[in-house]
A and B are shown apart, each in its own frame.
Chain A
Amino acid sequence: MKVLVTGASGMLGGAVARALAERGDDVTVFQRRPARLDVALGPSPVLTEYLGDIADPVAVRAAAAGQDAIVHLAARVSVTGRWPDFVRTNVTGTAHLLDAARQARARVVYVSSPSVAHSGHSLVGVGATAADPDHAIGHYARSKAVAERLALASARTVAVRPHLVWGPGDTQLVGRIVERARSGRLALVGPGTALVDTTYVDNAVDAIVAALDRADALAGRAFVVSNGQPRPLSELVDRICAAAGVAAPRRHVPYPLARAGGALAELAWAGLRRSDDPPMTRFLAEQLATAHWFDLRETRAALEWAPRVDLDEGFRRLAAASS
């Protein structure tokens, strides 16, 4: 089977590309910069690499031509930035990809996020409710929500929403926590007691591959993916720090303060036109202080999938990769 993977320069995209190639699929990866999967993941199976911008319809169509299936991970994921930039990559880019898929008659897995259906309150054991661009919080979630609606309206397309994917080589969750802990800038928002579910990268890969193989039967549906092992946030942070060999944070910032600080930081970053991420945003403060965990029963049944790597094993692998 010929499969196109967009956004393969990220940890999850790279792992998906590699897993598909290892099982014998003919994999093409598509991203702006060379993914260097061999560097990130060790000796690489045979992959075709296609460099291009997801917002460029010609490049996307060229990459998609002749593909049987597409896994679409390319996205702008930062917590700050201007709305038009998010629209360009996440909405317009997805629209181009869906057009190209239609022309190629390829089925599609759209990799989404539980935040598309999250309006700011605690998520306690919920399934995949409908994406809600009007109430999703922050540019990232809102743009992903719009794009997911586009995707699910397309034929042969299924959405998978992994929550907080982590693993060795993760620059987002693990990388940021470890980097800040190392520089002593890490503090927990609120008491750190909110239950948060995460996804070890291999489990997300399994779910995406399973969705790809069942995309025709499951077209139009969205599935939440996680380890199904919610833990208090401070426990997760402690274990990530322990696996990386850095000291765990001892400081707690009250939630209202963090939220106010986040609002200030967003203003400052916007005023300074900085493109990096500020240390705190309102979205982040809320993510860190409220519960986020999920009911996976529908996902497990429909994808015939179950998480293979539990938290203990995941942290063992993270520690091994860090040492």
Chain B
Amino acid sequence: MKARPRCTAAAALPPPGLPGLDPSWSRLVTAIASDGAPRTWHVLDRPPAGGGPAVGTLLCLHGNPTWSYLWRGLLAAAPAGWRVVAIDHLGMGFSERVAEPQRLADRVTDVGAVVEALGITGPVVTVAHDWGGAISLGWALAHRGRLAGIVLLNTAVSQPAGSPVPGLITLARSVIRTSCVSTPTFLRGTLRLAHPRLSAAVRAGYLSPYLGAERREAIGDFVADIPLSTDHPSWPALSVTASGLAGLADVPVLLLWGPRDPVFSDRYLRDLVERMPQAQVHRYEGAGHLLAEDRDITAAITAWLPTPVSIVSDHRAIRRSSRSALTIDTEIGGTGRRALWAELDDHRGDDSPAVIEMSGERRTVSFAELDLQTRELAVGLTAVGVGAGDRVALLVPPGADLAAIVYACWRIGAVIVLVDAGLGLRGMSRALRGAAARHIIGIPRALAAARALRWPGTAIAVGTTNPALLRAVGARLTLDDIRALGTGATTAVPAPGPEAEAAVLFTSGATGPAKGVVYRHSQLEAQRDLLARAYSISPADRLVAAFAPFALYGPALGVASVVPDMDVTAPATLTATALADAVDAVGATLVFSSPAALVNVAATADRLTPRHHLVLAGVRLLLSAGAPVPVALLRTVAKLVPAAELHTPYGMTEVLPVTDVTLAEIEAAGTGDGVCVGRPLHGVQVTVCPLDELGRPTGEPTDKPGLTGEICVSAAHVKDRYDQLWLTDQDSATQPQAGLPTSEPGWHRSGDVGHFDDHGRLWVEGRLVHVVTTADAVVTPVGVEQRIETLAQVRMAAVVGVGPVGAQAVVAVVTVVTGPDEPGPLASTALAAAVRAAAMVELAAVLITDALPVDIRHNSKIDRARVAAWAARVLAGERAGRL
């Protein structure tokens, strides 16, 4: 940097009236700075509320170009017992303006000096954002003796190898004087990164210490101090910090991340997780660089902090509160476990069909071939660097290739990431970025999307060897190359233990962004075993796999599986003839399908030939999973498979199946409030937490009949956790028992509401978030909707609430069979009367719409939140448009 005369200025207190900032927190502290001179810092310092000694101190360090104002929310709602201290770095915020640019090492030393000057004793948890992260970690490494934990928000400690420097940084670097100092461009640009936008008053708060170029010198210094090359003066300090993190393995770490950050993108998060694998990660979908503004980080930090804490016991206390893999190891390690690929081993050399693909030219792969392919791929994948714990995204349609890849990955401990095309491209992008796959194995179309949308991971192509196409989609390798690498070769890869991660699946995203769900091997093994037991699956069975998740289990169950000729991304493309042809191919005894597929099967049944009817009569069990199935549809389907028992298991991506019910049992149950999903399966414990008058599941868990509450499930095949959603996971896995607020593996709060009847059958009444709370009662939607849908003129109904929680009005929104005399949005007098009579709850209004919004995956789950928002606009007399 060119030497130029620079203004110095004393530290000052912030001007009064900045929103959210209590003037009593501000103080000026003088200490000996790294240059040996006394300097003055502005700090925010809030002692524990209610006085008394602090259980610990949250030491908060801002980045560039913000100041401690960033932490005002954390100070305002400080965790009970904790002192919160936020330091403005020298030259930044309201601290002293100094003549010399400060380097990373200087700033680390300065933080230590200020901590001493403030008389902070006892355990310290560092909380830092942006380039404050490196400073905080530098301090942490130098003060291990008092370090109780580390919280980081969108930051980095190194430039991951092979990835480009963020464009914004290089841009700012090239014109530091103009962008950072002479003008507030960088400052204003940073403040624009908030989602939603900051209010003018808060923006002014951030700008307040930086009015005038002479007050912004340090902003430029900070940008200049980012070591982008090894000859930079701050390179040694940063690289020592980065490599030192491995030594903090016993320190609890919380990483809070806003993925919409143009500078600290997800690859920096991955880098941090690799350096600190013990970290709990919560990635706030939709939030960005200014995470502390975008989301309530205070709640996250408070939930994560241990109380009480002491310097000696705090590590253990914090670690106890997080999930401990060790405990599970000892519990399950000793049982007679069968790995997911055990059946493949057993069928070595068996020439009977394992997987048959009906699409295009029929392709049959025997167990012997599948086993061989799996082994070759396992060796080949190892050879190209796929290791245990690596995540591999699979964008391959169901069939023999997918089966071989899945079991190969499992054998070597790689984690499969299955992303449903039903999420749409945007949803897939979000999911894949979140899952941080290292490799993507996909068909060319999927890899093209991966390249265009910059999904992470090296690409491996399936289904083509065309070099031009491979180049176009950015794939250096094909599946055949991988197999070739493994052909005839052997390698010693230890098999994953039961606690190794096996798969990341995604929820349908019907309520918010799709969540990644992590399963360990032991959990998938339990799921496989439960399926085998619940449906008495034996080697004599043959399976038509038209329901994606279970389709993978054919080889694990040791039964032949047939993939019918259909577009698996659209279950409604399964025709009756395609199903019958698939059954015919192996003389199938089992059909796994979904409601959307069955709708189309029923609609195309008239094209079945006598031969088709004959083979369909050989099916002994038909299962429909994923969403509720209308009884009328089941009855129609039952006629097509006359010998089959029709089962509709209930469950969710996080735990499936939970209960099971047959058509005969549904008919015996009759009508009730909700959908009868039968009784819990073997080894599955189901309870409901009754709702209070505001619809909150606050009651003691129970299986007493007649009480409506949130459905909670405990079983060996419950998901391990949500991926990088630590907070969500804590909520979902909270064991529903009074006085046990800790999260336990094996529990899942489903977010569904329902009740048990006198015969121990579970009835699902809808989603917890869709419960309507009137002044008189809590109304669950599904039962009311079912009663309304018994009307001949109604096709589909959604029951929602408008108005404030606890005093809502109930509204039915329906689609009608024919509509010329129902212009909407208000139903005609006659229709409204009929709907009210059927509903049996007080309805404030009956509205008509052309179509109700449903999820893509199942084409049946109604987005009632959207319906409610529309109804609220209509019924407030506003211009609402179409739903």
Contact = CB atoms under 8 A, between A and B. Distances in A.
Interface of A: 122, 124-127, 190-195, 228-235, 238, 255, 289-291, 293-297, 300
Interface stretch (B123-131, B699-707, B800-808): B800-808
A125 B803 contact: yes
Contacts of A293: 803, 809, 844
Nearest to B809: A230
A234 B826 contact: yes
Interface string B840-883: 00101100000000000000000000000000101111100000
B813 to A, nearest CB: 12
A230 B844 contact: yes
Question: 9 nearest interchain CB pairs?
Answer: A125-B803, A194-B877, A295-B807, A122-B876, A125-B807, A291-B876, A195-B875, A125-B804, A289-B877
Q: Which of B808, B874, B878 has its CB near the most chain A CB atoms (within 10 A)?
A: B878
Contact of A124 (B802, B825, B874): B802
A232 B825 CA distance: 11
Contact of A295 (B806, B829, B872): B806
A228 B875 contact: no
Contacts of B832: 235
Interface of B: 775, 802-804, 806-809, 825-826, 829, 832, 842, 844-845, 872, 874-878
Contact of A194 (B804, B806, B842, B876): B876
Contact of A195 (B804, B829, B844): B844
A306 to B, nearest CB: 9
Nearest to A289: B877
Nearest to B806: A297
Contact of B803 (A124, A191, A235, A289): A124
Nearest to B872: A124
19 contacts: A124-B804, A125-B807, A125-B808, A191-B825, A191-B877, A193-B874, A195-B809, A195-B845, A229-B842, A232-B845, A235-B826, A235-B829, A235-B832, A238-B829, A255-B877, A293-B809, A293-B844, A295-B775, A296-B775
Given A191-B825, A231-B845, A291 B875 contact: yes
A300 B693 CA distance: 15
Contacts of A300: 775
Given A235-B832, A296-B807, 10 more contacts: A125-B802, A191-B825, A193-B874, A194-B876, A235-B826, A289-B877, A291-B876, A293-B844, A295-B806, A297-B806
B373 to A, nearest CB: 62
Contacts of A291: 875-877
Contacts of B803: 124-125, 293, 295
B807 A297 contact: yes
A235 B877 contact: no
B12 to A, nearest CB: 41
Given A228-B775, A231-B844, A238-B829, A195 B806 contact: no
Given A230-B844, A296-B775, A193 B877 contact: yes
Contacts of A194: 875-877
A31 B247 CA distance: 89
A127 B806 CA distance: 12
A314 to B, nearest CB: 14
A122 B844 CA distance: 16
Contacts of B826: 191-193, 232, 234-235
Given A295-B775, A295-B806, A193 B844 contact: no
A135 to B, nearest CB: 19
A192 B825 CA distance: 10
Contacts of A195: 802, 809, 844-845, 875-876
Contact of B845 (A190, A235, A294, A297): A235
A255 B876 CA distance: 13
Contacts of A295: 775, 803-804, 806-807
Contacts of B876: 122, 124, 194-195, 290-291
A233 B826 CA distance: 10
B805 to A, nearest CB: 9
B801 to A, nearest CB: 10
Q: Which of A191, A294, A300 has its CB near the most chain B CB atoms (within 10 A)?
A: A191
Nearest to A312: B836
B877 A190 contact: yes
A304 to B, nearest CB: 15
A228 B807 CA distance: 9
Nearest to B829: A238
Nearest to A127: B807
Nearest to A290: B877
Contacts of A290: 876-877
A171 to B, nearest CB: 26
A190 B878 CA distance: 9
Contacts of B842: 229
Q: Which of B802, B804, B877 has its CB near the most chain A CB atoms (within 10 A)?
A: B877
A193 B775 contact: no
A117 B658 CA distance: 51
Q: Which of B807, B832, B845 has its CB near the most chain A CB atoms (within 10 A)?
A: B807
A125 B773 CA distance: 12
A234 B845 CA distance: 11
Q: Which of A126, A290, A293 has its CB near the most chain B CB atoms (within 10 A)?
A: A293
A122 B826 CA distance: 19
A12 B113 CA distance: 77
Contacts of A231: 844-845
A229 B807 contact: no
B875 A232 contact: yes
A295 B774 CA distance: 9
B843 to A, nearest CB: 9
A194 B435 CA distance: 46
A305 to B, nearest CB: 13
Nearest to A311: B842
A126 to B, nearest CB: 8
Nearest to B801: A125
A290 B829 CA distance: 21
B880 to A, nearest CB: 8
Q: Which of B825, B826, B842, B872 has its CB near the most chain A CB atoms (within 10 A)?
A: B826
Nearest to B808: A125
Contact of A125 (B809, B829, B845, B878): B809
Nearest to A286: B877
Nearest to A296: B775
Nearest to B807: A295
Q: Which of A122, A124, A126 has its CB near the most chain B CB atoms (within 10 A)?
A: A124
Contacts of A193: 825-826, 845, 874-875, 877
A106 to B, nearest CB: 33
Contacts of A289: 877
A244 to B, nearest CB: 15
B285 to A, nearest CB: 30
Nearest to B811: A195
B411 to A, nearest CB: 58
Contacts of B802: 124-125, 195
Given A125-B807, A295-B804, A229 B844 contact: yes
B170 to A, nearest CB: 50
A225 to B, nearest CB: 13
Nearest to A190: B877
A211 B878 CA distance: 35
A200 to B, nearest CB: 15
A229 B875 CA distance: 13
Nearest to B775: A297
Nearest to A192: B826
Contacts of B872: 124
Contacts of A235: 826, 829, 832, 845
Contacts of A232: 826, 844-845, 875
A195 to B, nearest CB: 4
Nearest to A294: B807
Q: Which of B803, B825, B874 has its CB near the most chain A CB atoms (within 10 A)?
A: B803
Nearest to B875: A195
A296 B808 CA distance: 11
A289 B876 CA distance: 8
B830 to A, nearest CB: 11
